Structure 1
Amino acid sequence: MSFASIPKNPHALRVTPHLLDYEQARAGHSWEALRADLQGLPGGGLNLAHEAVDRHAGGARANHLALRWLGKDGSVRDLTYADMARASARFANVLRSLGVAKGERVFALMGRVPELYFAALGTLKNVSVFCPLFSQFGPEPVWQRLSRGDAKVLVTTQALYEKKVAALRERLPALQFILLADAAEDLDASVLSLPKLMAAASDVFVIPPTSPEEMALLHFTSGTTGMPKGAVHVHQAALTHFATGRYVLDLHPEDIFWCTADPGWVTGTSYGIFAPFLHGVTNLVDEADFDAERWYRILQEQKVTVWYTAPTAIRRLMRIPGEPRAQHDLGALRLIHSVGEPLNPEAVVWGQRALGLPIHDNWWQTETGGIMIANYAAMDIRPGSMGKPLPGIDAAIVKRGEQGIQVITEADHEGELALRPGWPSMFRAYLHDDARYAKCFVDGWYLSGDLAKRDADGYFWFVGRADDIIKTSGHMVGPFEVESALMEHPSVAEAGVIGKPDPLIGELVKAFVVLKPGHAATDELRLELTGFARKRLGPAVAPKEIAFIESLPKTRSGKIMRRLLKARELGLPEGDLSTLEND
């Protein structure tokens, strides 16, 4: 079933969108011109932390609310841009006092607390490299990343240190200092009290000269096998974060912005720290984990205007009976964005119906550093589409062949999504793995590994990961298409689809279905879903087998782990589970 386009919503037009005419914005785009909207360091160069906080702290927005932190216990902490500049300067001075130099790695393993944001910005001010870790990682994935990333400093809490790090110390000889954000006193000569160090440090710090190509961020991303890959990003990435904050998130000076992603993931740093601060808006941070009632209350009480969340969270909200707008005042909201896993068309339509706003999907990767393809405030939405490329980004559908890369110009033909290299937030390396990095670029294109298609009007549509594609009876089936069709059935909350080896047809399509509350997993429902899918997809594409499960395995950033579904179905090794949501 296809969904009709959703016209641009009037809420998004309460303020004039930065991007009103897409083609005009693309034609007039210049990264160099965009840089003129940033300040640069007094002596030249570009430092991401300076642009994010110091230029605001030294200007008219010094006393504007930068960070509102909502604690699990109901406490609230407000910090202005001047406050953020001083706190991050103290952290930078702490690093300098410990002898942490340019390019050396500072890791953070902690929840969403203010000290995490001070550490991120202070590390960049020192021209050291900030490396966030998700606080729910177990000891082994923590060790893998600290070891592979050459960690010199780790910022964490007492509980996380004792539970996940203390036993690793002998395996991490390069890790010189551990800074405990909640310890009043030092534990020993290398496990130190961060509050004590911060109190003794000056709140003035002069950022040293910073080349735009200086290494700034290290984000780890897991593959299906082997050690996690460390994607290197540079200070120049500020331009992409600023551009996407303007064109996609459509941030304006008085916005209250909430990104629900944890800074342990690239979304939580690119859009939970840098994009909102670069635009000088109020950035809302909630310490607590997902809770539907709490989230709706935050949207209402904090008068959130722009909300950036994940498809997993949206699908959880969709499972809850009732009408959110009947119970909560969501009138301040004007834009909702989603990223992580492609957003099913039904979720976009649900947003329009239940929240009063369509949900704007977008596409990017850890390697791209920022949003590359998006649905924009002043454009119609085609549910299920990832949208159109950002101004300054050249995207194409390509095919690999013996003669190299062939660009597919015909509409609605599937191929690999590729980007022309050179955008500011493009990763510059996989740390310690030059060969793997080189394989990402062929014939002047960055190859994403995602399969997609482009329609006649230039909208891009996600098909699936290249290694998820199912080959059945000569057909190439993208699991996302099947999952989206199943989710249109009123009983289905979520679905994950894999290819299962079959001697006759190569692979058969198998679906794993999570039901909404109040629906029983019966043989009758299985038959009903099979018929439902066949009507929408045809017999060649519809699942041949359907299994009911309580929950789908997902990464902690919300992506369905189809390769894990397949491994468990076939009794194969499960590979790297460091990012599994509930391992």
Structure 2
Amino acid sequence: MHWQAIKKTPKSFRVTPHLLDYEETCAHFSWETIGRELNGLPGGKGLNIAHEAVDRHANTHLAHHPALRWLGPDGTVLEYTYTDLQQQSNRFANVLRQLGVGKGDTVFVFADRIPALYFAALGSLKNGSIFCPLFSAFGPEPVYQRLQRGHAKVLVTTTQIFQQKVEQLRERLPQLQHILLIDASDDLGEGHWSLPQKMMVASEDFTIEATDPEDPALLHFTSGTTGMPKGALHVHKAVFTHYATGKFVLDFHPDDIFWCTADPGWVTGMAYGIIAPLVAGITCIIDSEPFNAERWYKILEREQVSIWYTSPTAIRRLMRLDIQPRRLYDLRHLRAVHSVGEPLNPEAVIWGQDALGTAIHDNWWQTETGGIMIANYLAMEIRPGSMGRPLPGIQAAVIRRQKDHSLEVITEDNVEGELALQKGWPSMFRAYVDEDTRYRKCFVDQWYLTGDIVRRDGDGYFWFVGRADDIIKTAGHMVSPFEVESTLMAHPAVAEAGVIGKPDVLLGELVKAFVALKPGTVADDQLRLELIGFTRRRLGPAVAPREIEFQNQLPKNRAGKIMRRLLKDRELGMPEGDFSTMETENE
């Protein structure tokens, strides 16, 4: 289905975007220039993410500017200035130093979105330790996998989470030396410490030791539908990408109020819920509560959010509701909405224009890339359904793997192939922890192979086709699940769709769709036939689904991606593998 491009004019900008001319910006871009826009540690002692995010602002006119505004469940609002953040992160760094935790040791946080998580993240980075956040809804086994694979030395958590999910693991984790309990008033014994007590006596002064830009800083575990999680390791120089994408993609300006709905337990919540906005010196909203449409709209209104970064899942949930937000809420301050997590369906881009007053700007990146790599920019036209164009400084190509394991770069327009990025960008992951062979397989001939199938149009816009292992081969045709899902979602009855290839003797695979309907819609055979006809008319009989199954809710991981592989495993009666990253039914 063709969607008309959304064109921008200079008069439509309330604030002039940093990136006005894409071609010119790319022509004059260099990572060295980006580095010069940051401070570096005093005395030329290197580069530290936490210094760029906190201390360099706390020592300027931004000292008393709000850095974090935390919204509690009962209406509580706690605000922390850059000076507050400097003092609290210094205290945490001193706690680590007092415990003998040093450079290269791994500090995990396993907690909800509470202020202590943010102090620990920044304090760990100041200390030269590797920081790794965990999603608080994980059960004991996925927690064990990550703590064990990440060589955890310190775990910061709450008493309840510790007792319910971690205590039973202690004997299996001999490297885990210290448990810092966020809500304990007293120490519980050797190795089980009251964090408030230790923070209270720790100094507010801390000097960051020399930090090499290539020193390890962040550890993020990828979320997959099968197999064990992979620990992707990033270095302090990744802050170059965080800063550049905050400037050119999210378009941060000094007075912005920014809200990233992603949890810090995932890479988006860390890179863009903490680092990027703080490096830009703006105010970051933190909501302690799970998704609630009314609460979210009230936050946008009350906090006067100007830039919002959320997920396709959240957007689809809002689309399902019979709410006209601009009639009920004052959203005049909202000037940009961005989305990440999985490709954003074209109708969602258009919905944003109508419902929120701004089209939604999709972007693409992975845990391994460490930051946004391809995006729709504020000053460029949006082509609904497109990933956008590469970040300045990023060389992206469509490639084809050859039988001799070499790569062919595809130069023709609109030819499908695997998306590859030329090595060397600052936030590129430097390792899979303890999996060197697996890491090396990600690179061929100076290209990082993403595993995503894309095409590039004649104007340089990239279009997501599917994961390499998601492409459906049916009767000699290559079918993109995303394309079928997008078409199904264009039907007024459909809220979400997940599409798989189902083995078939005659076709090889037939296309099967799992569909969640909007509230009040009756799931019956008449609607099933209507949807099949609807997609046949738009996609043709070779591509349209031959089977449709209605489900109340489709399985998703914590990043909001519909887990097609899990749908397929269930359809075929196969073992479901590691589903620790799934959403729970009541979320």
Q: TM-score, normalised by structure 1?
A: 0.99
Deviating more after overlay: 237-246 vs 43-52: 43-52
Cα distance in 1, alignment partners of residues 503 and 143 from structure 2: 35
Q: 1:295 — aligned with what?
A: 296
* Residues 105 and 151, structure 1, Cα contact 8 Å, conserved in 2: yes
Q: Does 1:25 align with 2:28?
A: no
* Residues 224 and 581, structure 2, Cα contact 8 Å, conserved in 1: no
Q: 1:136 — aligned with what?
A: 137
Q: Does 1:203 align with 2:204?
A: yes
Cα distance in 1, alignment partners of residues 351 and 331 from structure 2: 15
Deviations 1:255-302 (A, max 9, x none): 000000000000000000000000000000000000000000000000
Deviation at 1:2, TM superposition (A): 1.1
Q: 1:167 — aligned with what?
A: 168
Deviation at 1:341, TM superposition (A): 1.0
Deviation at 1:16, TM superposition (A): 1.1
Cα distance in 1, alignment partners of residues 497 and 520 from structure 2: 17
Q: 2:433 — aligned with what?
A: 431
Cα distance in 2, alignment partners of residues 540 and 263 from structure 1: 42
* Residues 12 and 378, structure 1, Cα contact 8 Å, conserved in 2: no
Q: 1:555 — aligned with what?
A: 557
Secondary structure of the 2:536 match is: helix
* Residues 180 and 193, structure 1, Cα contact 8 Å, conserved in 2: yes
Q: Does 1:410 align with 2:379?
A: no
Deviations 1:308-332 (A, max 9, x none): 0000000000000031111001100
Cα distance in 1, alignment partners of residues 227 and 495 from structure 2: 32
* Residues 232 and 431, structure 1, Cα contact 8 Å, conserved in 2: yes
Aligned residue identity for 2:466: G
Q: 2:4 — aligned with what?
A: 4
Equivalent residues in 2 for 1:83-98 (5 A)?
83-98=84-99
Q: 1:69 — aligned with what?
A: 70
Cα distance in 1, alignment partners of residues 230 and 83 from structure 2: 36
* Residues 466 and 480, structure 2, Cα contact 8 Å, conserved in 1: yes
Deviation at 1:226, TM superposition (A): 2.8
Aligned residue identity for 2:429: F
Cα distance in 2, alignment partners of residues 431 and 61 from structure 1: 37
CA RMSD of aligned residues (A): 0.9
Deviation at 1:10, TM superposition (A): 7.0
Count of residues paired in the alignment: 583
Q: Does 1:356 align with 2:360?
A: no
Deviating more after overlay: 222-231 vs 530-539: 222-231
Deviation at 1:20, TM superposition (A): 0.3
Secondary structure of the 1:467 match is: coil
Cα distance in 1, alignment partners of residues 9 and 556 from structure 2: 31
Deviation at 1:13, TM superposition (A): 1.4
Moved over 2 A (4+): 8-12, 222-226
Equivalent residues in 2 for 1:334-345 (5 A)?
334-345=335-346
Structure 2 unaligned regions, length at least 5: none
* Residues 213 and 236, structure 1, Cα contact 8 Å, conserved in 2: yes
Cα distance in 2, alignment partners of residues 467 and 164 from structure 1: 34
Cα distance in 2, alignment partners of residues 551 and 420 from structure 1: 38
Cα distance in 1, alignment partners of residues 562 and 511 from structure 2: 16
Cα distance in 2, alignment partners of residues 282 and 563 from structure 1: 38
Structure 1 unaligned regions, length at least 5: none
Cα distance in 2, alignment partners of residues 72 and 469 from structure 1: 42
* Residues 9 and 357, structure 1, Cα contact 8 Å, conserved in 2: no
Cα distance in 2, alignment partners of residues 287 and 46 from structure 1: 31
Cα distance in 1, alignment partners of residues 12 and 345 from structure 2: 21
* Residues 334 and 357, structure 1, Cα contact 8 Å, conserved in 2: yes
* Residues 39 and 56, structure 2, Cα contact 8 Å, conserved in 1: yes
* Residues 225 and 563, structure 2, Cα contact 8 Å, conserved in 1: no
Equivalent residues in 2 for 1:459-538 (5 A)?
459-538=461-540
Q: 1:34 — aligned with what?
A: 34
Cα distance in 1, alignment partners of residues 120 and 161 from structure 2: 17
* Residues 222 and 576, structure 1, Cα contact 8 Å, conserved in 2: no
Deviation at 1:224, TM superposition (A): 4.2
Equivalent residues in 2 for 1:383-422 (5 A)?
383-403=384-404, 404-422=406-424
Aligned residue identity for 2:526: E
Aligned residue identity for 2:121: A
Q: TM-score, normalised by structure 2?
A: 0.98
Cα distance in 1, alignment partners of residues 52 and 32 from structure 2: 16
Cα distance in 2, alignment partners of residues 336 and 12 from structure 1: 15
Deviation at 1:73, TM superposition (A): 1.3
Cα distance in 2, alignment partners of residues 330 and 82 from structure 1: 30
Cα distance in 2, alignment partners of residues 205 and 559 from structure 1: 40
* Residues 223 and 557, structure 2, Cα contact 8 Å, conserved in 1: no
Shift in alpha-carbon separation, 1:238–1:548, aligned structure 2, 3 A = same
Equivalent residues in 2 for 1:230-379 (5 A)?
230-379=231-380
Cα distance in 1, alignment partners of residues 290 and 360 from structure 2: 21
Aligned residue identity for 2:250: L
Secondary structure of the 1:162 match is: helix
Secondary structure of the 2:37 match is: coil
Deviation at 1:11, TM superposition (A): 8.7
Deviation at 1:8, TM superposition (A): 2.4
Secondary structure of the 1:331 match is: coil
Deviation at 1:355, TM superposition (A): 1.0
Secondary structure of the 2:469 match is: helix
Cα distance in 2, alignment partners of residues 225 and 331 from structure 1: 43
Cα distance in 2, alignment partners of residues 192 and 285 from structure 1: 26
Q: 2:450 — aligned with what?
A: 448
Cα distance in 2, alignment partners of residues 440 and 384 from structure 1: 27
Deviations 1:60-87 (A, max 9, x none): 1111110000001110001000110000
